[in-house]
Amino acid sequence: MQQLFQYFKQFSPLTAEAMDAIADICKLLHVAKHTDLQPIGHTCKTIYFLNKGIARIYYYKDGIDITESFAFENDILVRVESLFTGRPSRKAIQVLEDAELVAIDANQLFQLYDRYPEIERLFRKIFEAAHVETVNRIEALQFHTAEERYKALLNEEPNIIQRVPLKYIASYLGITQVSLSRIRSQR
Amino acid sequence: MQQLFQYFKQFSPLTAEAMDAIADICKLLHVAKHTDLQPIGHTCKTIYFLNKGIARIYYYKDGIDITESFAFENDILVRVESLFTGRPSRKAIQVLEDAELVAIDANQLFQLYDRYPEIERLFRKIFEAAHVETVNRIEALQFHTAEERYKALLNEEPNIIQRVPLKYIASYLGITQVSLSRIRSQR
DNA sequence: CTGATTATTTATCATATGTTAAAGGAATAG
DNA sequence: CTATTCCTTTAACATATGATAAATAATCAG
């Protein structure tokens, strides 16, 4: 659990009491690769934090598997559009490498918001940072070529290539597997 | 100011005291069309709410004007990636039609967060909703064709065509003006 | 109202990415 | 270790979108 609280520290401070309250609603999970942590159609009621391993959020569009995002060590992992609306998600969370993660019960967390404004603030800031990343991602998709997006990804996550099947990376970049292969083979 | 508080009501309730505190840090603005409300390079320190009119957030990529997003009546208007990071924004806000808007001073608002958890909660929810929209937009850009995106936009904002120059719509959709014209002329 | 900008459409050609199919490599189960 | 399945690359062709230029159409300033 230290890893999680270390992560929290980047965003805002917590009293010992608030930390205990959070720890009480957390569970440590070990999940084997290829497991769907949360299936399509369920409403997101858990906020995950990845201690170790890789996961992705994916969905099906016209029967084709599309990766919306990846999560790595020390990332928060959540289906925002379901958690914040209370609606079922068309997306699933899949673990790509044997993973260790912390599961935070969202309903219990939201109750803590009432008792601990500092906890509400912490998660506000965590999700604000995620929001900023999402906005930046739009810029990439809107006006960079597939090749530029691929190179930018390599820059941010140099070892994603060794750890994630290329087909997942392709749909994350908004292109087909074949196109990605073509881009990779050019020089 | 009633329009703004009406908007707030959708998200969470406020005490009269909190409403007064917010009203104290708000200014009503009238801005002529074509005006840059906030220039490129400034750090976003104001949250705007549009009572009337249309605005857009735009930036330059390789010298070309690109529209990141539009805001209409009853929309919040903010450069998230600057407001939440405190860094200067490469984006500007431009008013497209004579507009009436409410300007909320962000630094003063953040101070109110300390005194009124209910205000922090309200804005948390407002930005969570914006976050969800951003996530959904990625899905559109990632795996819909330009034509699909155009039709989806028409569906959501049927009168955007009458009110916004097509060139701005084109870059918002991630395509050139010429491509949009071509799509429109097909049937 | 008129001329000058600015916005939109149309046409032509170039190019990136999609689609489909097949072959070669890598991972996995038994 | 082998056979099967899954992943990745390559090839050939189709198509959507980009780039450039020119022609209309609309808007705006004087």
Q: List, run by run, the mean pLDDT of 10-residue segments along chain A (187 residues).
A: 96 97 97 93 97 95 92 96 97 95 98 97 98 94 91 93 95 96 87
**List of residues 6+ apart from A83 with CB closer than 8 A:** A44, A45, A47, A106
Residue A178: inside a domain: no
A132 touches chain B (CB under 8 A): yes
Residue B168: inside a domain: no
Per DSSP, the residues of chain A read -HHHHHHHHTT----HHHHHHHHHTEEEEEE-TT-EEE-TTSB--EEEEEEES-EEEEEEETTEEEEEEEE-TT-EE--HHHHTT-PBPS-EEEESS-EEEEEEEHHHHHHHHHH-HHHHHHHHHHHHHHHHHHHHHHHHHHHS-HHHHHHHHHHH-TTHHHHS-HHHHHHHHTS-HHHHHHHHH--
Q: What distance in Å separates the CA atoms of residue A76 and residue A114, rounded to the nearest whole number?
A: 22
pLDDT score, position A30: 94
Residue with tokens 């909660």: B121
Q: Point out the residues of chain B with pLDDT beneath 70.
A: 187
φ, ψ at A186 (rounded to 5°): -65, 110
pLDDT score, position B143: 82
Q: What distance in Å separates the CA atoms of residue B50 and residue B107, rounded to the nearest whole number?
A: 20
B100: β partners: B30, B52
pLDDT score, position B63: 86
Determine, for residues A80 and B139 on separate chains, whether the beta-carbon distance falls below 8 Å: no
Structure tokens at B27: 């200014």
Which value, to the nearest 10 degrees, does the dihedral of the CA atoms of residues B116, B117, B122, B127 take?
A: 120
pLDDT score, position A142: 87
Q: What distance in Å separates the CA atoms of residue A20 and residue A22, rounded to the nearest whole number?
A: 5
Q: Tell me the angle at which helices B117-143 and B16-24 cross, rounded to the nearest 10 degrees.
A: 70
B63 touches chain A (CB under 8 A): no
Residue B90 three-state SS:
coil
Residue B136: inside a domain: no
- Residues of the domain holding A85: 2-118
pLDDT score, position A130: 98
Among candidates A52, A36, A49, which has minimal Cα distance to A163? A52
CB B66 within 8 A of CB B173: no
Residue B143: inside a domain: no
Residues of B within 8 A of A152 (CB-CB) are none
Residues of B within 8 A of A11 (CB-CB) are none
Give which of A44, A134, A149 to mutate to test B binding, by max B Cβ within 10 Å. Answer: A134
pLDDT score, position B142: 87
Q: What is the CATH number of the domain that holds A47?
A: 2.60.120.10
The whole-model pTM stands at: 0.95
Among candidates A132, A117, A118, A112, which has minimal Cα distance to A23? A112
pLDDT score, position B3: 97
B136 touches chain A (CB under 8 A): yes
pLDDT score, position A62: 86
Per DSSP, the residues of B6-61 read HHHHTT----HHHHHHHHHTEEEEEE-TT-EEE-TTSB--EEEEEEES-EEEEEEE
Beta carbon pairs, A and B, within 8 Å = 80
Residue A125: inside a domain: no
Minimum Cα–Cα distance from B87: chain A residue: A132
Residue B126: inside a domain: no
Residue A166: inside a domain: no
pLDDT score, position A155: 94
Number of folded domains that form chain A: 1
- CB nearest to A134's CB, from B121, B135, B174: B135
Residue B184: inside a domain: no
CB B89 within 8 A of CB B13: no
